[in-house]
Amino acid sequence: MKRSESQASPENSSVRRKSAASFSAMILWVMTLFKTKIQIILLQPFSEEIMILFQNLSFY
């Protein structure tokens, strides 16, 4: 059982990366749909991090 768990761990990490990438992409898609001044003001502190995530997504 321990061997199977160790073999499954890298697969789980790759699946988690893909799910996180799709989740951030969905957030960006929602942001493009609903561009309001209030949301832009709220997201200004996170805009740089979101752009970094978007740039990282483009490499997949």
pLDDT of 9: 56
**Secondary structure (DSSP) of 1-60:** -HHHHHHHHHHHHHHHHHHHHHHHHHHHHHHHH---HHHHHHHHHHHHHHHHHHHHHTT-
Please report the pLDDT score of residue 43 as a whole number: 66
Q: What is the pLDDT of residues 4-48, one digit of tens each?
A: 444 555 567 787 888 888 888 888 888 777 766 656 666 666 777
> How high is the pLDDT of residue 19?
85
